[in-house]
């Protein structure tokens, strides 16, 4: 199975298992969504002779949140449009596959056209390994975003002067701070790198299969 959509955006939950078929076969696909950073990423599954789309997403970077506490510890931080992140959107479909132009050019030199079945299998093995890592990272970051969204909804129902509000707001702010750490930012960059790499490998395999169908 091959990923048909790999994007940045919202949650990676229910990411489909994607495995590349051992023998070259025509790739037919239908678009569906997968993973997301700030928004959702899309991914499709290739099973047997056809592509089956499965939903999964890339961690969503929810920018809105809690107002920075002033006198009180647990105040909501005000939304800042400049903090909104949607750069992890990727939608891989058979018709209009897109990717960062510079990244695409770099990966094209690393993964050129496939010229043999053996090379195709090498691409397959690398694709499967990187896809597992990609989905793992996305799921990890999605978990933080999901927790933040849940806490944000909870805050909307609480009295800002209550002790419960302060406790929930502090937890929301703690998770928001985690998203600003070097470790979290490094994971975001790695997701972006893997996304473009998977896109290039998938593109080369599809081209090879098309020429040998």
Tens digits of per-residue pLDDT, 49-85? 323 333 334 444 444 455 544 434 455 554 433 323 3
pLDDT reported for residue 2: 54
For residue 78, give Cα distances in angstroms to 67, 68, 82, 157.
4, 7, 12, 17
- 26 found inside a domain: no
Render 86-125 in DSSP notation, one character per residue. -TT-----SS-----HHHHHHHHHHS----SHHHHHHHHH
- Of 18 and 204, the structure prediction assigns the larger pLDDT to 204
- 32 found inside a domain: no
- 56 found inside a domain: yes
Question: What sections of the chain are H helices per DSSP?
Answer: 101-110, 117-156, 163-178, 182-211
Q: Of 39-43, 113-117, 170-174, 196-200, which gets the smallest average pLDDT?
A: 39-43
- What total of structural domains would you count in the chain? 1
pLDDT reported for residue 123: 96
- 4 found inside a domain: no
**Tokens 């999964």 found at:** 56
- 76 found inside a domain: yes
- 29 found inside a domain: no
- Of 140 and 93, the structure prediction assigns the larger pLDDT to 140
Q: Of 7-16, 102-111, 191-200, which gets the smallest average pLDDT?
A: 7-16
Whether 121 and 20 have beta carbons less than 8 Å apart is answered as no
pLDDT digits (tens, 9 = 90+) for 156-179: 999 999 999 999 999 999 999 999
Largest alpha-carbon pair distance within the chain?
Answer: 69
- 19 found inside a domain: no
**Tokens 């790739």 found at:** 27
Instruction: Report DSSP state, residue 16.
Output: P
Q: What is the pTM of this model?
A: 0.57
- Of 16 and 166, the structure prediction assigns the larger pLDDT to 166
Q: Is the pLDDT of residue 196 over 80?
A: yes
Query: Domain residues for 65?
Result: 42-211
| Chain mean pLDDT for the chain | 69
- Sorted by sequence, the CB contacts under 8 Å of residue 120 that are 6+ apart come out as 24, 114, 205, 208
- Of 212 and 146, the structure prediction assigns the larger pLDDT to 146
Nearest to 116 by CA among 54, 12, 53, 204: 204
pLDDT reported for residue 120: 95
- 23 found inside a domain: no
pLDDT reported for residue 66: 52
């Amino acid at each position: 199975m091959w990923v048909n959509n790999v994007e940045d955006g919202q949650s990676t939950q229910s990411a489909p298992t994607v495995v590349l078929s051992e023998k070259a076969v025509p790739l037919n696909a239908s678009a569906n969504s997968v993973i997301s950073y700030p928004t959702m990423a899309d991914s499709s599954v290739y099973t047997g002779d056809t592509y089956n789309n499965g939903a999964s997403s890339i961690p969503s970077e929810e920018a809105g949140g809690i107002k920075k506490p002033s006198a009180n510890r647990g105040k909501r931080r005000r939304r800042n449009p400049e903090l909104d992140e949607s750069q992890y959107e990727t939608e891989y479909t058979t018709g209009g596959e897109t990717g960062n132009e510079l990244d695409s050019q770099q990966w094209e030199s690393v993964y050129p056209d496939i010229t043999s079945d053996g090379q195709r299998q090498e691409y397959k093995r690398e694709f499967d390994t990187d896809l597992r890592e990609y989905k793992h990272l996305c799921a990890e970051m999605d978990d933080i975003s999901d927790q933040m969204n849940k806490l944000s909804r909870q805050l909307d129902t609480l009295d800002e002067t209550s002790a419960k509000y302060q406790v929930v707001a502090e937890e929301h702010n703690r998770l928001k701070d985690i998203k600003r750490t070097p470790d979290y930012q490094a994971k975001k960059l790695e997701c972006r790198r893997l996304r473009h790499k998977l896109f290039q490998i998938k593109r080369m395999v599809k081209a090879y299969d098309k020429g040998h169908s």
